Amino acid sequence: MDAKKNTGEANNDVLEEEAAIQLIAPGIARNLTQEVITGIFCNVVIYPLLLIYFVLTFRYVTTNIVPYEFIDEKFHVGQTLTYLKGKWTQWDPKITTPPGIYILGLINYYCIKPIFKSWSTLTILRLVNLLGGIIVFPILVLRPIFLFNALGFWPVSLMSFPLMTTYYYLFYTDVWSTILILQSLSCVLTLPFGPVKSIWLSAFFAGVSCLFRQTNIIWTGFIMILAVERPAILQKQFNTHTFNNYLKLFIHAIDDFSNLVLPYMINFVLFFIYLIWNRTITLGDKSSHSAGLHIVQIFYCFTFITVFSLPIWISRNFMKLYKLRIKRKPVQTFFEFIGIMLTIRYFTKVHPFLLADNRHYTFYLFRRLIGNKSRLIKYFFMTPIYHFSTFAYLEVMRPNQLTFHPITPLPIKEPVHLPIQLTHVSWTALIACTMVTIVPSPLFEPRYYILPYFFWRIFITCSCEPLIKDLKPAKEGENPITISSTKRLFMEFLWFMLFNVVTLVIFSKVSFPWTTEPYLQRIIW
C-alpha cells in the first residue's frame, strides 16, 4: 500500500461508497466489496464441512489406523502420564521441549475424561490438538486478523495447512506452539483490548508459547519489532529513507519502552535465565539436537513455502518476471547459482535421524532428490529449484510491502487502522528470524517451516492475475474488466486439501514393520 494512494490524489485508485471499486490500471478494476463478501461467505460455508472432515478422519485415524503411540508420542504421552500420577519432578531425558503440552494435555484429560469415559487416554490427549486446530486456531487466532484483511487470506485455508494438519491427529507440540505464538501476533495487529493491554497480552501468549517450543523466543522478538514499528510508523512518520526508519524505530522503542518493549523483555530475561540453568536451548537429549551451521535449510524452507503457496503467486507474468531477471542480470545469476552449489556442498548437514527413519517424507526426499548421490540431481537439478524458490519467496513479498511518501505522512491516526502489511524494516526482521530459527537446526524437518510459512503468508495478498493468459484491459470507452483474487484463494484451499487427502491416504494404506516397534509404522511429514 503506497501512502500516496491513501491521500486520495491518485486517479487510478477510486473508492465508491456503494461498492469499493479499485481501478488497478486503465481498463482493469477490482470489486473489493464483492471479494470481501464472497470470502466471508465461502468461509462460513466451508468451515462446518471442514469440522466434519477433521472430526471423522480423527476418529478413523485414532481408532483404526494408529490406536497406539506413534513415533515421538511415546515420549510425550509417557511424560503426561507421569504428571497424571503426580510425579512432577520426574522427567524423561529423551524429551527436548518444555512441559507446556503435557500440562495442557493434563488439563484436557481432566475436562474430557468425565464426559467420554470410554475413550482411551491416548485419544483424549490427541483431542487437545484437534480442538486447538479446528476451533481455537481459526476462530480465536485467524478470524480477528481476517476481519482486518479479508483480501489477504482465508482462515479455512490456513487451518488446513498440510504441515499443520498432520498433527491434529497426534499428541505433538506443534499445533499449540503455533496457536499461541500467532495469537501473540494477532493481539499486536488487531489490538483487541487497546494499545497497552493488548501488547501485554501479546507478550503473555508469546511467553507461554515458549513452554511448547523454545525457538518461539525468536518469533517473540519479531512480534516485539512489530509492536514497536506500527505506532512508530505514525508517531515518527516513516518515509522513503530506510535507514532513518530504523533509527525512528529504535528511538520509539526507547521513548515508549515500558509499554512496547518491557512486556517482551520479561520473556527474554526469563529465557536467558533458562539458558544459564540448562546451558543450552535444548532440554533432555542434547547430543542429538546440537546446534550447527546448516545454511542449506534456508533453501529447503523457501522451497516448501514456494510449493505450498503456488496458487497465490503462479502466473504467466510471474514466470516472465523471473526469466527477465535472469536475462538482465546473467552474471549475478551465475554467481548466485555457484553460491547455492557451494552451500549444498559445504553446509549440508545429514542428521543420523534423517537417514535412519523411513517414516518421514524427508527420508525419501533426501535420498532421491536433495541428497542424491548423482551430482546431476544434487547440484544441477536442485540448484535452479532453490534459486527460483528464493526468488519467489522474496518477489511475492515485494508488492506487499508498505511504502511511504518522501514527505506526506500516512493519513491514519491509530496503529490499529494500519493495513496488515510489513515495511522494509519488518520484512528484514522476518527474513532474519526465519534464518535464525532454521539454520542452527541440523535436522531436515518440515515441522520447522510451519511458523516461517505462517508469518510470511499472513502478510501476503494473492495475485489477481490470470494463471495462464495475459491480463488484457478493456478497450477505451468500454467498462473495465473486473479481476479478483477469490478464485486463487479458493484454489489455495483446494491445494491444501489435496495434500491433506493424499497424505492421509498414504498414512492409512502404506504400513511396514519396524524391528524396534511392536506395531506397524506409517509415513508422515
**18-22, 267-271, 411-415, 421-425: which range is least confident on average?**
18-22
pLDDT at 256 over 90: yes
pLDDT at 104 over 80: yes
The residue segments making up the domain with residue 162 are 3-509
**Residue 500 falls within a domain, yes or no?**
yes
**Residue 516 falls within a domain, yes or no?**
no
H/E run at residue 483: strand 481-483
Q: Which long-range contacts (CB under 8 A, 24 or more apart) does 6-10 make?
A: 6/410, 6/411, 6/412, 7/405, 7/408, 7/411
Whole-number Å distance between alpha carbons of 354 and 363: 6
Phi, psi angle pair for 524, to nearest 5°: -135, 175
Tell me how many domains the chain contains: 1
pLDDT of residue 287: 61
Percentages helix, strand, coil for the chain (3-state, rounded to 5) are: 65, 5, 35
pLDDT of residue 409: 80
**Residue 211 falls within a domain, yes or no?**
yes
Q: Mean of the pLDDT values across residues 68-97? A: 89
**Which amino acid is residue 337, in one-letter code?**
F
- Using one digit for the tens of pLDDT, what is the confidence trace for 147-191? 998 889 999 999 999 999 999 999 999 999 999 999 999 999 999
Whether the Cβ atoms of residue 439 and residue 347 lie closer than 8 Å to each other? no
pLDDT at 35 over 50: yes
pLDDT band at residue 12 using 50, 70 and 90 as cut-offs: very low
**223-227, 327-331, 440-444, 499-503: which range is least confident on average?**
440-444
Share of the chain above pLDDT 70, in %: 94
Of residues 471, 464, 459, 472, the one with CA closest to residue 489:
464
pLDDT at 377 over 80: yes
Of residues 145, 149, 188, 183, the one with CA closest to residue 415:
188
pTM of the model: 0.91
Q: Mean of the pLDDT values across residues 363-388? A: 91
**Beta strand pairing call for 21-25 and 28-31:** antiparallel
Share of the chain above pLDDT 90, in %: 64
- Using one digit for the tens of pLDDT, what is the confidence trace for 261-308? 999 999 999 999 998 988 877 776 666 666 678 899 999 999 999 999
pLDDT of residue 230: 95
Mean pLDDT of the chain: 89
pLDDT of residue 165: 96
- Using one digit for the tens of pLDDT, what is the confidence trace for 476-496? 777 777 888 899 999 999 999
**Residue 178 falls within a domain, yes or no?**
yes
**Residue 518 falls within a domain, yes or no?**
no
**Residue 58 falls within a domain, yes or no?**
yes
pLDDT at 16 over 50: no
Cell of 57: 478422519
- Using one digit for the tens of pLDDT, what is the confidence trace for 329-346? 999 999 999 999 999 998
**Residue 213 falls within a domain, yes or no?**
yes
pLDDT of residue 467: 80
- Using one digit for the tens of pLDDT, what is the confidence trace for 47-70? 999 999 999 999 999 999 999 999
Of residues 31, 36, 12, the one with CA closest to residue 20:
31
3-state SS, residue 403:
strand
pLDDT at 87 over 50: yes
Q: Mean of the pLDDT values across residues 76-99? A: 89
pLDDT of residue 480: 78
Query: Cα–Cα distances in Å, from 373 out to 159, 344, 470?
Result: 37, 13, 41
pLDDT of residue 290: 65
